[in-house]
Chains A and B, each alone.
Chain A
Amino acid sequence: MDSQLTQLCDSARQVVDGLGLAADEESSWALMAELGWFMVSAAEELGGLGLGIAGACALHQELGRSLSRVPFLPQMLAIEAVSRSPLAQQDEWLPSMLSGERVVTAALGESSFHLEKNTDGGFRLNGLVQAVPSADSASYLIVESAQHNCVALVGSAQPGMTLIARPTWDVTRRLFDIQADDVVLEKNLVLVEGDASQILIQQLAVLRDFALAADAVGASQALLKLTVEYLQTRVQFGRPLALFQALKHRCADLKALTDGADSLLQDNLAAVLDTHGEVVLTVETEMKARATKQLACSAFATVAEESLQLHGGIGMTSEHECHLFLKRALLNEHLGRSQESYDLGLADLFIASTQ
């Protein structure tokens, strides 16, 4: 990790610790905007810090530690998409996204969006996307369709767009479905068309997978720490629970799982970048992104499930933080693709690459 990144991590950790667990969404967003965190990955010539996906993931990891409610991930995906489009050259777009003034969101779940080309060459949008974080505070949504070779922005309040809140057990996220009925895409908001859109869509998937992995790793680390601290202080049978080997060994296993996920994240992040810090799109990259997401999110789920058990009765109460981690872990497993499809997709790609 270079020194700029280490510095960013250190200061982010302080800020995140100061905010506390699952801090208020709006004030956290304002603070992050003030600290310039939305600028982390964009290239320097576009007004960003130029730290790329590695910088973004370092922040995702810190935000994961605190179960941040901020829709940082969709904003980063949107910035990536706009950076790679002609809109990057227009003053009104990128600067306002980098400053956090303009909130743009993106779907983290399944999409049945369907694009139809009009006679004038424009697009009409129909269908439904799922798992769009904080859609009600975003002015735009990223629409992508691999089938129709297109990535575009669409106004979330445009005629024909309906937001449906989908309250989840995870209270640290606010997810929405978005239904589009004959929504006309503005021509200048079509970011990329043709083959280039396929590349961008894959790039966004790689970013998303690494970001979700980083979130899961950060949260696992924080939760394990919390759990060990609890076992140190809780006394039963005249001794701290942390003295019981049955419990120590489970904590050691969780530590190994967490360290494994962290190592894989850092290793794979480094492996998919070229010398300029840009993601190199290959099948190998796609596999690494999927493997990292899958391993990190399943490790987080195990850490969260075990931590609740290790906390005993207090873990079942809403006043304790344990359940916030568990619910976030359970949701994380379904973001991006389903966990099953990560498993099978990895196997299929690997089998195809093996003679």
Chain B
Amino acid sequence: MSVESNLDPFRQEVRQWMESSVDSGWRSAMINTEQETFVAAQKDWFSKLVSAGYATPHWPQGWPGGGRSLVEQKVIFEEVARADAPRLILYFVALYHAACTLLECGSAQQQARYLPGILQGEIWCQGFSEPNAGSDLASVRTRAELRGDRYVINGQKTWSTMAQYADRCLLLARTDKGERPQAGLTYMLLDMRAKGVTVRPISQITGDDEFAEIFFDDVEVPVEERVGEQGAGWAVAQATLASERGLTLVELSQRMRYSLPMIVRQMRSSECFGDVAIRRDLGRLISRVDAACALADRYLLKRISGDEGPGDASIVKLYYARTLREFTDLGKRVAGLQGQYNTGFMRGATQETGNWTVDFMNSYNWSIAGGSDEIQRNIIAERMLGMPREPRSWQFKEWS
């Protein structure tokens, strides 16, 4: 494959690097493999990206690879999609959530202590969601009790990506019962090997176990591991969640566009190649996928020019999630009965693997995680369209 010469030099550099560095066999190596194999492959890919400087373009100047503009970061994500490189699932929290939180809200000591470790491959997980605090994140119940110079943590977190492999955890815990639920939260950095931490992987409907539950039983966290003030955890958590806004969806929507030919190839090899209904739906899907890409692109351009408005990110995510569902649904229909045979799955793969029933099931990741479609709709309706919020107070009443 040759690299076009009319590209801007940075894109050309990244493209060339991707072409020579992405192992084209990575997908087949991940089919029905053990999770350890996947973890090893992620570590390998991560260290390649770090040494090329493409893992940390969003870090400040002075860090290896750091100091890249948002425009250049976008280029990297686009080229990752174009090269069909593996997604850095194992390191995403470390590179974005942990690093950006530390850089924005962490102390100088915390930065000096943890950022180099991330570059060396320390794995971080997120301890935000709980069984009773999913979409409603502010109702976190895991307790952090200050005793002398340490917090004592008790409670449970869930939906933590790859927590079973994590070295450290970004923890959001309750230190006070504030007037508003957001008020009494405190943010801290927790060592996953500390005494009293138990991790239990969650078995998913696809057979994979990318997420885990974390249990805390009198786990001690030194006070100097707190990020921000006590009670200021909600604001710090917002910084965490805002860290990668837009870039991931640029990558994912472009991956979806690059994957459209997979459906066509599947059509060619099946009886439905001449089926008018399938063709019509393919025609509709093509423009939907293009629109998802255009939305993600426009959103990032708005961020670059500082014009981001409330709700803009929600539109992109909602549109992507709906389109991905349609995409994988069409793949599943084209695959027919054979698509229902359980032939296993590709571990840690992207959203479009060609194993369409698994891909279809996985598409729920995007309509549920990171603020469900329903939450996004609330945000769009209330913050973009100016429709009123529902009244806050509500009480259970006995049916009479």
Given A259-B315, A263-B298, A354-B265, A340 and B388 contact (CB-CB distance below 8 Å): no
Given A256-B315, A263-B295, A340-B280, A292 and B388 contact (CB-CB distance below 8 Å): no
- B381–A252 contact, CB under 8 A? yes
B307-326: contact bitstring with A at CB < 8 Å (1 yes, 0 no)? 00000000100110010000
- A267–B377 contact, CB under 8 A? no
- B282–A243 contact, CB under 8 A? no
For the complex, is B276 an interface residue (Cβ under 8 Å from A)? yes
For the complex, is B288 an interface residue (Cβ under 8 Å from A)? yes
For the complex, is B267 an interface residue (Cβ under 8 Å from A)? yes
- A252–B388 contact, CB under 8 A? no
Nearest CB in chain B to that of A255: its residue: B380
- A251–B297 contact, CB under 8 A? no
- B260–A248 contact, CB under 8 A? no
For the complex, is A346 an interface residue (Cβ under 8 Å from B)? yes
Q: What number of A-B contacts does a CB cutoff of 8 Å give?
A: 129
- B387–A228 contact, CB under 8 A? yes
B288-311: contact bitstring with A at CB < 8 Å (1 yes, 0 no)? 101111110110000000000000
For the complex, is B378 an interface residue (Cβ under 8 Å from A)? yes
- B387–A251 contact, CB under 8 A? yes
Residue of B264, B279, B298, B381 with most chain A CB atoms under a 10 A cut-off: B381
- A348–B279 contact, CB under 8 A? yes
- A350–B290 contact, CB under 8 A? no
Distance (whole angstroms) from the CB of B23 to the closest CB of chain A: 22
Residue among A255, A266, A340, A346 making CB contact with B287, cutoff 8 Å: A346
A241-256: contact bitstring with B at CB < 8 Å (1 yes, 0 no)? 0110100110111011
A283-319: contact bitstring with B at CB < 8 Å (1 yes, 0 no)? 0000110011011001000000000000000000000
Distance (whole angstroms) from the CB of A228 to the closest CB of chain B: 5
CA distance in complex: A301, B221 (Å): 57
Residue of B267, B297, B319, B387 with most chain A CB atoms under a 10 A cut-off: B387
Residues on the B chain within 8 Å of A261, using CB? 291
Distance (whole angstroms) from the CB of A67 to the closest CB of chain B: 21
Task: Tell me what chain B mostly uses at the interface: helix, strand, loop, or mixed.
Answer: helix
Given A295-B291, A346-B286, A348-B279, A248 and B319 contact (CB-CB distance below 8 Å): no
Interface residue count on the A side (C-beta < 8 Å):
42
Residues on the B chain within 8 Å of A224, using CB? 385
Q: Number of contact residues on B: which range applies?
A: 35 or more
CA distance in complex: A242, B388 (Å): 6
Residues on the A chain within 8 Å of B390, using CB? 243, 245
Residues on the B chain within 8 Å of A228, using CB? 385-387
Residue among B282, B293, B297, B318 making CB contact with A350, cutoff 8 Å: B282
- A231–B387 contact, CB under 8 A? yes
Given A245-B390, A291-B287, A347-B283, A267 and B297 contact (CB-CB distance below 8 Å): yes
- B315–A344 contact, CB under 8 A? no
Nearest CB in chain B to that of A288: its residue: B290
A-B contact pairs, 14 of them (CB 8 A): A251-B385, A256-B322, A259-B315, A260-B295, A263-B295, A267-B293, A288-B290, A294-B287, A298-B284, A342-B283, A345-B283, A346-B283, A347-B279, A348-B279
Q: Report B's interface with A, CB cutoff 8 A.
A: 260-261, 264-265, 267, 276, 279-284, 286-288, 290-295, 297-298, 315, 318-319, 322, 374, 376-378, 380-382, 384-388, 390
Q: Report A's interface with B, CB cutoff 8 A.
A: 224, 228, 231-232, 240, 242-243, 245, 248-249, 251-253, 255-256, 259-261, 263-264, 266-268, 287-288, 291-292, 294-295, 298, 340, 342-348, 350-351, 354-355
11 other contacts beyond A232-B386, A248-B378, A259-B315, with CB at 8 A cut-off? Answer: A228-B387, A242-B387, A243-B387, A243-B390, A248-B382, A249-B374, A263-B294, A264-B291, A291-B290, A295-B291, A347-B283
